[in-house]
Amino acid sequence: MNNGRTNRTIVKDIGLTLLAEGKTIRIKAHGYSMFPCIKPGSLILIEPLNIKGMPRPGEIIAIKRENGLIVHRLSRIINKNGVACYIARGDSNASADNPVKIDKIAGRIVRAESTGENPVPADIRINSRPKYFINRIRVIGLILWKKIRF
């Protein structure tokens, strides 16, 4: 029996249900894919798309995945066989995510709050030109620094 996985699934389902009902949710960010914009430990607020309309390139969006939500920046919108497909990418990721249709976008990030775990405020402004390579180097350096320090 895997209670951890079951609990994560329940929490994910509750969050997606609240977003579908038009409610804003707050979740804790994990990982470095949006570094330095959003740091691990930041609390991010996700609002449903219907509040401000369709997402625009440069905005940070939450995408539904099998194991939860992934928060990446919308880099472009393409037309694939007459259907709009959205391509996102983490600010420090080496490559873009696979295209998704609008039904896979759970919402947009409207605010990020610092925490005791991460006291530095996040910067979620629209950014149509993240410095992917530089951000990636910063993440690698940060991870190496943490390993050396401990």
- As a dihedral over the C-alpha atoms of residue 12, residue 13, residue 19, residue 25, rounded to 10 degrees, the angle is -40
Residue 89 DSSP SS3:
strand
| Domains of the chain, earliest start first | 3-149 (2.10.109.10)
CA atoms of 127 and 145, how far apart (whole Å): 27
Spatial separation of the C-alpha atoms in residues 84 and 57, rounded to whole Å:
13
- Rounded to whole angstroms, the Cα distance separating 73 from 100 reads 13
The token pair at 149 is 């320090």
Residues 6+ apart with CB under 8 A from 52: 108
* pLDDT tens per residue across all 150 residues of the chain: 466 667 778 888 888 899 989 999 999 998 999 988 898 888 999 999 998 989 999 999 999 998 889 999 999 999 988 999 999 999 999 999 999 999 999 999 998 887 776 666 677 777 878 889 999 999 999 889 888 876
> Residue 2: left if φ>0, alpha if ψ -120 to 50, beta else—which one?
beta
User: What's this model's pTM, rounded to 2 decimal places?
Assistant: 0.86
Query: Alpha-carbon distance 56 to 100, whole Å?
Result: 14
Q: Rounded to whole angstroms, how far apart are CA atoms 19 and 111? A: 15
